Amino acid sequence: MNPLDPSAVPPATDGVLTSPQRAVVVEDDADILNLVCFKLGRAGFKTRAESLGPRGLDAVLEEVPDVVVLDLMLPGLNGLEICRVIRDHPRTKSVPVVLLTARARERDIEQGFAAGADDYIVKPFSPSELLSRVQAAVNRGHRAR
């Protein structure tokens, strides 16, 4: 490591070192999973990607991330069940959850919010809007903690 290389030093804010925000993304469509992780990574998030419901829940409970981006229709354990567990668990109850799903009926959206989601985005989606909503959810989550 070259100490003169500015990229080797973590960014600082007002003399305080900051760490990247962490996101767990749980999505079974590989293209969407890669797109979301790419977009969040470019914005400075450290992402962990999972494509199966049970592994996604394990990741959230292990990482206790700053935000979770969660599909509803997942193999093994659906997104509503995962969201409920996140809300019921003492370590993760305040972690923002953004649902990202193809389910666009009013009933689906109501169920998502009833399960504890902080936001609900319908596919197809704008990657820029997704990033804005994720960042807003993180900001609201930090204010609530």
Confidence of residue 143 (pLDDT cuts 50, 70, 90): low
DSSP 74-137: -SSS-HHHHHHHHHHSTTTTTS-EEEEES--SHHHHHHHHHTT-SEEEESS--HHHHHHHHHHH
The one-letter code for the residue type at 105 is R
* Chain segment 27-42, per-residue pLDDT in tens: 999 999 999 999 999 9
CATH code for the part of the protein at 20-144: 3.40.50.2300
Neighbours of 83 (CB within 10 A): 25
Confidence of residue 13 (pLDDT cuts 50, 70, 90): very low
Res 2: pLDDT: 40
* Chain segment 54-107, per-residue pLDDT in tens: 999 999 999 999 999 999 999 999 999 999 999 999 999 999 999 999 999 999
